[in-house]
Structure formats: structure tokens, C-alpha cells
Structure 1
């Protein structure tokens, strides 16, 4: 049953459901119709018997009762006088015993019963109606009987109900199938389009229906997903292209230096070449490390829930760093944030490395709390960054002018990593105006107060 349900399409399931509901509704309606019509038919049959008995009653009241009674349209008629003697009957009941022994009560002139033992009607149930009539010597009783109406009333009624139900069920099933098919046609178009989209043609979009309904929302959501996927794939392609180029540069430099030395081994300055090779390897290692960090960030690496004091983080980092430029600090009260200590340390390291590379002589660091945000600023006194390029520097493998080129030791990934870490911590890393140099400003929501502290 489960397998069959999974194999049936939505159209088929909805059609079967609509047909089943209509079939159940038709069954209930048919039962009500048959019950009501049967009661009405029984009442009509009883009225017919009573009309026939009233004709006989007139003969009794006039003292003109013949021994052989006409049928008057019913199956059986009998008359019993005041002494309980059978004095008249229709032709079929003329030689038969009394068909019933019950009599109407004193407070009622009419009584009816269903009896299945009426003489001359074996294996048949009859509606027997008895009426009390005043006659010679006392009350006479006239019995009239006719066959009980069957539950289906008549075959024509059953056939009409079956045909009508079949037409209604068929019309409902066809209408449901066409309605569901029309509703799901846009879904088929969306599925067909999605099935044809590959990584080489992510610019394609699924068709959007005209009607503002759930399927339109599905199509719009699918298109938004495709747009994000296209942007992510394009970013990955650019990233792979830039990464391959930046990895190739130090490798090519190493190969060139080694090949030149191998051509003239006696003339080569192996010590100087080794130092140059170590510099290239350091650059290669830095690029690989940054690539691994970005890969972990892109994969959605979870942040540890540490409580980090930015002021303490700055002091710890400055203590372990070899000074490349004069550092001026302005550390206010504690500014505690929730986040990953290692990632925030990497963010600070990247900002300090960038500032040290481009500073003329001094790097200024400040930490303060501003409202519900902790603010960290790193400002160098170098050439600065023009306003139109302040967002561009946060892109991966960014190159600006010679003063900030990657040949000065950067990988082109440090600032991109720093912004990624800031955003993962619910913060924002931007470049703001300064009197001289580049001023990087990090804003992160402060951690809620710890009751234990």
C-alpha cells in the first residue's frame, strides 16, 4: 500500500480522493433518498389499502355487503362481523382463513401491521390495515392487505440513482483531474527547467506563473536560489582562478631561481638563493594558510561561544608580535563580545599585518565601547585608500597600487578573511575617513551581562 501510494502521481491521488469523496457523498444522499422514498411509498401503499377498505365500509353501513368483494386495487380484502365470523372477502381470499387476528383499539378506528404469514401469500410480507366499522349487531372489522414495498422501492429508482451517482462521480473525477493538472502545469514547467539546468548554464531561470499563488512563490524562490547559486559558483570560479594564479607565482619564481642556479652552479650564490627561496616559500605558505581559512569559513565552520575581551586580545597580540612599526594604543574599559577567540585573533592579526605593511612609521589601535557595540580601530599613517576603493579591498585577491601590492608581503586575502570573520560574529568591518592613512573600524555587538560576574 505504501509503495503504491508513493508511485501514484499527485494528479491521480487528488482525482481518486475527489472521486472517493463524491462517492461517499452520493452514497449518503442515495441512502437518504431511498429511506425517505420508502417511507413515502409505504404511506402511499397504506393509504391505498385504506381507500379500498372505506369502499367496503360504505357497503357495510348501507347493509349491502356482498360476500365476494372486488379487489379495489389491493391484494387481499376480508370482512369480519361483530361475532368474529368471516362474512366477505375478495376472490383470492374467499376460501382462506382470517388473515389477521388483531383489531383496532377502542380509542382508534384504524390499526396497521406488517405480517409475513398472510394466507395465500407464502414467503411474502404484507401491510395489513384493520378498520373498525359500525354494522349490524356491533363493530365489524375490515382487513385489507398488500405487499410490503421493498427497500429499493423499484428497480427504476435504483437504476436512476446509480446512473446519477456514476455521472456525478465521473464529472467530479474529470473536473478534479483537469483542475489539478492545470494547477500543476507550472510545476511541471519548473521541474523540466530545473532538470535541464547544469553548472554551465546557471543563468537560466524557471518560468514564473501569472497567478499570485503558492506556485508563483515556489518559482520566485527557485529563481532566487538559482541566483545565489550562480553568484556562489561564479565566486568560486573567480576564487579558483585567482588562487591558481597566486599559487603559480611563487612556484614559478622558485622554479626560475633553481633552473638559473642549475645552469651555472659554480657561479650561483646558494645562500642568497636559499634566502630568496625561503621568502617565496613563506609567501606560498601564507597563501595556502589563508586559502584554508577561507575554505573553513565558506564551509560554515562553527564559532566557539567564548567571551572575548577585545582590549585583552589586543594586548596579548601586541606582546607576542615583533614590532614592525611604532604602535600607539588607546584601550578603554573592557569590551567583551561573544565569539571564537581564535577567529577574532586572526581578524586582529590580519588588520595589524596590513597596517604594519603600509604604515610609514606608526600604527594606532583603539578599543572602546559605544552603546551596545564594541569598537576596535586600527589606523596606519600610510598612503591611505581612496573612498571609491574602500569596498574593493575586501574582495579576495585584491590588487591596488604599488604601495599596497601583494609583493610587499600580503596575500590579498587578509582583509577578505577579516570581513568574513566580522560578519560571522554579527559585526561589520569597514574603512572610515581619517586624517592620514587607512582607518579600519570593527563593530561587534557586546555580550550580554553575565550574572555570575
Structure 2
């Protein structure tokens, strides 16, 4: 198939596109098959029941007549309103005695039951008389010996076949009831499916009204907790997330344009001055300044790409990460500047991307060193099913009102601008995005002095980490002096 188009078969092309109609047709077809089978069974049972009742009655009338016969006389048969045809026939097919309705007629049947099966029933049809339902009873040999000197005699008791059996009336009634039943099933299915799909139609109508410019609308939620109710609630949650994402993207785009506007404007001004006043402007200084501005622009763009990638793409290839070893490696890497002390519980493991988590820890340590007065302390602990990494400095701290603002993209406090004028303001935003991508959190908590950044990640319980080959027992100390650097990673700029 070209273009990925599905080829519809001849059967599917004949079916209606409406789910309601398809369910109704399917239910009607199943009902037709089931009710036809049931109707045929009921018809067969009714016929058998009527025939059995008639044959029992004809057999009883025949045996009663036989019981009343005497050697000196044969009494007239006692008929019933329905069983009025009785005949006594000898072995030469001569009618010896008969009821008034059967007098003058030839033998009702030529059926001669054997001695071991004296009573037999059946239906006999002829063009003149129609169909008769009769029972043939062969008289006992003892009685035959007393009455007729051993000559075989048979009594026939019959009645005309009732119309319910002689015609197709029963089949027509059964077929009519089957069709009525199929119609009721189809109507019920049509109404039930229509009622069931009514919320779906409302959801579809509301979704058709939603546009990218207005994502505030929500689909109606049924009160029931069935599949349609769950679909509506899922759709509303998806719409809420989509609205939040679009709003965030618009806000982020606005902030990006604001952050890039000033460096681009400054770069343009410098280059225009160099062209307008070639004799008054030092071109080498202009080029160096333009390169510096371009470098800052590139750094901002790189950070924006990292932030967008971390926020929108889940970590690839999650694997167990030893946070204890990772923190100690980062502490060793911070050998210059304000001293960093580590207090790491051994064997704290999480599941995630080693490079991204190392970038978060490195970012937090660099920030802490930048704002600390004399020292930075890093702790790694297990707490309530989470790995907790706390980075605390002894600087001026962060005001309570700014503890969430610092995680917003491009937000830089006054002290941060003073200490790092070339920062992009994306470091903490990237760090929080990485934490969220790992089902964790990154927050600022109260501290007696300075700022305390706390990273929480779900623990990975896979047993203690394997000890490095050749490493002596007790190397996993408090000060993180493993002396080995972790894998190379992408640079993430800090705030």
C-alpha cells in the first residue's frame, strides 16, 4: 500500500460507518440466529407434544374398546369428540366393526403391528380423506383365540390431523414471534447504544470547539465511572496539561526574546559604530567585544537547548546511579575555591541518567561555592524511600519570597548578577527540570545560615553497589576521597 492507506474489504465497505448502527445490526443478527434456533426448537417441541397427546388418546380409546369385547358380542366403540374414527379389521382387511364416522369406509390403515410391538402410531394421508393421525393396536393372541379362533385382528383409532399440524400455521406464528423479538432487540440496542454514546457525541462536539488559541474549554464529564467517564476525565487532564504547556512555551518564548534582545541590540550597535566611525572606533576592541557578546549569546542558546531537551524528553537509558560515588567525584572536582565537605551515606542508589544527575549536583555545588562565605557542605542520605542530596552554604541565603522564583528560566537575583554577570539564569531551571524528569524534586529548605538546596530522588533498591576492584575496605568514607572522576558529561551553565 502506498501512502499508508488501509484497503477496505468488500464486507467493511457495506457496513455503515456509525458505531450505533453497527452494534444494532450485530445485535439483530445474533438475535435472529438465536431466536430462529429457539423458535425451531419450540416448534418441534410443540408438534411432538401435540402428536404424543393425540397418540396417547387414540391408544387409550382403542384399548378401551378392546377391553369391552366379549366372545358372544362386540359392543359398538365408545368415541370421544375428537377420536371418532374406530375400526376393527381382520387379517383379510375386512372391516368387522366400526364407529359411525368410520362405517362404510375401507380400512383406515394397512399397518399391522408385530406381536412383540402391539401398539404403533403414525400419520396416514390420502387425497380423499386428508391426513389422519391413528393408532393401530394388535389384539392379544389369547383374546384372538377366544373371539375369532386365532385369526389376527387389529383395532384402528384415528382422528383428523388438527390444523396446527396440517398447515404451516405454527411455523408462521413462530416466525412472526422471532421477527418481533429481533425487532425488539434491535430497537433496544439502538436506544441503549445511542444513550451510551451520547456523552461521546458531547465530548466530540466540545473538542471540535477547542483551538490552540483557546485551550480553556473542557469536555463534559459523565457522573459514571465507566470507560466513557474515564475517557472524559483523561481528556480533561490532557487538555489541562496541554494548556499549561502552551502557556509555558509562550512565556518561555517571551523570556527568551527578552534575554536575547539586549545582547543582539548591543552587538548591532557596536558593529554599526565601527562602520559609521571607522577613524574613531578601535576595530580590534570592537571585534573582541563583539566576540564576547556572541559567546554569551551562544551560551544562552546552548542553555536554552539543554533546558528544552531535558524538559520535553525523558531520560534515555535509565540505569542504576550511585549517588554516593557521584557526589564524592563532584566534591573532588571542586578542589579550588571555597572548600566543599561531603557527608555521604554509602550505597545510596537511584535509577536515572548519570550525566544529567551529575550536572545537577555540579550545578548546585558551583552555585553554593559562588555564594558561600567560608564553606559548603554536601550530605547524601536515605529518607522515606528517597535519596536526599542536600547542598548547604554559609552565605547570605535566599529570601523566602524568592525561593521559587530562582527556579524560573532567566530569573537572576541581584546578588547572582553581581557575582556572575555573564550567567544565563537557566542553571537552576535546568536542574529542576532534570529532577522532575527523574520523578524527583529540587527545592530550597530552611537553614540556620545560607541557602540549602535539597534534591530528592526515588531510591533504587538493588543491593549494595559493587566495590571497585582493588579498592580497600572502608574506602567509602565521609569525605568522598575516591580520587576518581566520573564519566565526561555535557557542560551545564549555572545561575
- Taking structure 1 as the reference length, the TM-score comes to 0.81
Q: Which residue of 1 aligns with 2:3?
A: none
Provide closer, same or farther for how the CA distance between residues 122 and 271 of structure 1 changes in structure 2, counting only shifts above 3 A.
Answer: same
**2:334–2:340 CA contact under 8 A, matched in 1:** no
User: Is the 1:42–1:149 Cα contact (8 Å) retained in structure 2?
Assistant: no
- Alpha-carbon deviations, 1:356-389, whole Å to 9, x = none? 5445x54514244345655444344444211122
2:38 corresponds to: 29
1:80 aligns with 2:89: yes
Q: Distance in 1 between matches of 2:166 and 2:185?
A: 28
Say yes or no: does 1:424 pair with 2:437: yes
Query: Any conservation in 2 of the 1:327–1:362 contact (CA below 8 Å)?
Result: yes
Alignment-derived partner of residue 112 in structure 1: 120
- C-alpha distance in structure 2 between counterparts of 1:215 and 1:209, whole Å: 8
Correspondence 1:127-206 to 2 at 5 A: 127-132=134-139, 134=143, 136-138=147-149, 140-145=153-158, 154-206=167-219
Counterpart selection for 2:111 from 97, 100, 105: 100
Report the alpha carbon displacement of residue 49 of structure 1 after superposing the two structures with TM. Answer: 3.7
8 Å Cα contact 1:103-1:130 kept in structure 2: no
Number of aligned pairs?
Answer: 441
- The answer for the alignment partner of 2:478 in structure 1 is none
Q: 1:34 to 1:153 in 2, by over 3 A?
A: farther
In the alignment, structure 1 residue 256 sits paired with structure 2 residue 269: yes
Q: SS in structure 2 opposite 1:396?
A: coil
Segment drifting more, 425-434 vs 146-155: 146-155
Q: Kindly provide the CA deviation profile for residues 17-40 of structure 1, in whole angstroms up to 9, marking residues without a partner as x.
A: 332343344224323322222122
User: Which whole-Å CA distance do the structure 2 matches of 1:310 and 1:197 have between them?
Assistant: 47
User: Could you tell me whether the CA contact under 8 Å between 2:388 and 2:455 is conserved in 1?
Assistant: yes
Closer/same/farther in 2, CA of residues 186 and 51 from structure 1, 3 Å limit: same
Q: Is the 8 A contact 2:88 2:155 kept in 1?
A: yes
Q: Does 1:317 align with 2:326?
A: no
Could you tell me how far 1:415 is from its partner in structure 2? 0.3
Residue 101 of structure 1 aligns to a residue in which SS?
coil
Aligned match of 1:39 in 48, 57, 64?
A: 48
CA shift digits 1:281-337 (9 cap, x unpaired)? 232122111111112212224154253413332135325xxx5x4334345465653
1:449 has 2:449 as partner: no
2:259 aligned to which of 235, 238, 246 = 246
- Work out which structure has the larger RCO, using CA pairs closer than 8 Å and 6 or more positions apart in sequence: 2
SS in 2 for 1:326: coil
Q: What is the root-mean-square deviation of aligned Cα atoms in Å?
A: 3.9
Aligned 8 A contact 1:34 1:151 in 2: no
Q: Note closer, same or farther for the CA distance 1:348–1:274 as it changes in structure 2 (3 Å cut).
A: farther
Residue 142 of structure 1 deviates from its aligned partner by 1.7
Tell me which residue corresponds to 1:404: 416
Counterpart residue number, 1:415: 428
Aligned to 2:294: 281
Report the secondary structure of 1:430's partner residue: strand
* Structure 2: stretches of 5+ with no match in the other structure: 1-9, 468-495
Unaligned 5+ segments in structure 1 are: none
Structure 2 residue aligned with 1:384, among 394, 397, 400?
A: 397
CA distance in 1, matches of 2:210, 2:236: 12
SS at match of 1:265: coil
Q: Please state whether the residue corresponding to 1:80 is helix, strand or coil.
A: strand
Structure 1 CA distance for aligned equivalents of residues 29 and 165 of structure 2: 23
Q: CA deviation at 1:115?
A: 6.9
Alpha-carbon shift at residue 204 of structure 1 (Å): 0.4
Note closer, same or farther for the CA distance 1:153–1:93 as it changes in structure 2 (3 Å cut). Answer: closer
Q: Deviations over 1:253-284 (max 9, x none)?
A: 11112222322222223344334323322321
228 and 3 in structure 1: CA distance in 2 versus 1, 3 angstrom threshold: same
Q: How far apart are the structure 2 equivalents of 1:152 and 1:409? A: 104
TM-score relative to the length of structure 2: 0.75
* Distance (whole Å) between structure 2 residues aligned to residue 31 and residue 367 of structure 1: 83
Counterpart of 2:12 in structure 1 is 3
Offset of 1:230 from its aligned partner? 0.6
Does the 8 Å contact 1:99/1:119 carry over to 2? no
> Given that residues 368 and 374 in structure 1 are in contact (C-alpha distance below 8 angstroms), is that contact kept between their aligned partners in structure 2?
yes
Render the CA deviation track for 1:55-97: whole Å, top value 9, x for unaligned. 865895472679xx99986797542348986535645643x69
Question: Match for 1:345 among 351, 358, 367?
Answer: 358
